[in-house]
Amino acid sequence: MKYFTKDWYDEMQVSGFLVLHDSEKDWEEEVEYYRKEGKDLRELNLRNLADMRESLLRYLPETFYPYIHDGTLVTEYPTPELRTLVNRWERNYERRMEELDNRYKQHFESIKAELPPAAVELMENGLHDAVVLSVEKPSEDQLVLTLDCSGGFHYFTDIRVTFEEVTYSDIPLDFKGAWWLYDEIYKTDDGFELHTLFDSPMIETVIRARNVKIELLKLPLMRRLKKWLRKR
C-alpha cells in the first residue's frame, strides 16, 4: 500500500489519542465522575499511555518526550506549553493527511475509467468495517470473500465478493473475523490490484485479478420491509 498503510493508521491513532480537554473545569469534572464510579481516571489514562507509548515516541517530536515519560501527557490538565505543542502537531498532521487523501483521490480518478465497473463500485461504496465471514478458493484463479457489512457504511447485509482470473493473493484462507479497514486500488495491464488494510489481525493484503463480482446474500431490512408491504 502506498497511501493507507499500517504506519498511516498507527499515526491516526496517535492523533485520536491527543485529545485535550477544552477547559480545566471539564478535566476536573471528568476526574470527579470517575472517582464517584470508584475509578481513578489518571490510572486509567496511564494504562492507555503505556499501550500507546511506542507509537507516541515514534510519531511525535522529541519535545513531547518529557510529557510521555513522566505521564503528564494524560494525568494533568495540559499546560499552555503542551497545548501549543499538541495544536501545532495536529495542524501539521491534518495538512499532511488532507494532502495524502487528495493524492489518492486524484490517482483513483485517473484510472477509474479503465477499471471493471464492479471494482469501481467496490471502491466508491466502500467496505470499511465489514467483517470477514469466510475466504474460499474454489479454483486456482478464483477467490471468494463473504463479508458481513451490517455494521458498515454500505450494503448493510452479507455480501459475496468474487475475484475472477486471480493472478496473486496473499489473503489467508483462515481469516474469519478480520475487519476491513481501508483500501486502495491500482490499474494493471490485465485488470486491477487491490490493497486492503485489515484489523484483527492487523495486516496489509494484495489481490490481483481481472474482474470482480459483488452479490448481496440477504436483502437489507428496509428492502425486505418494502418487499413485504408490496405483497400485502
- Dihedral sign, CA of 87, 88, 91, 94? negative
**Nearest Cα to Cα of residue 205 among 161, 149, 153:** 161
| Residue pLDDT, tens place only, 14-60 | 999 999 999 999 999 999 999 999 999 999 999 999 999 999 999 99
The answer to whether the CB of 165 falls within 8 A of the CB of 141 is yes
pLDDT at 225: 53
Terminal-residue alpha carbon distance, the chain? 50
**Nearest Cα to Cα of residue 61 among 35, 84, 31:** 84
pLDDT at 1: 86
pLDDT at 69: 98
Q: What percent of the chain has pLDDT over 70?
A: 94
pLDDT at 218: 74
Q: Identify which has the larger pLDDT, 113 or 221.
A: 113
Region 104-127: mean pLDDT is: 97
pTM value > 0.85 = yes
Above 80 in pLDDT, residue 224? no
Query: Phi, psi (5° rounding) for residue 119?
Result: -70, -40
The answer to whether the CB of 122 falls within 8 A of the CB of 161 is yes
Region 130-149: mean pLDDT is: 97
Gap between the Cα atoms of 163 and 213, Å rounded = 7
| Residue pLDDT, tens place only, 62-93 | 999 999 999 999 999 999 999 999 999 999 99
The answer to whether the CB of 124 falls within 8 A of the CB of 184 is no
| Residue pLDDT, tens place only, 141-178 | 999 999 999 999 999 999 999 999 999 999 999 999 99
Helices (H) and strands (E) in the chain, counts: 8, 8
Distances (CA, A) of 214 to 31, 162, 163, 231: 49, 7, 9, 27
pLDDT at 52: 98
Above 60 in pLDDT, residue 220? no
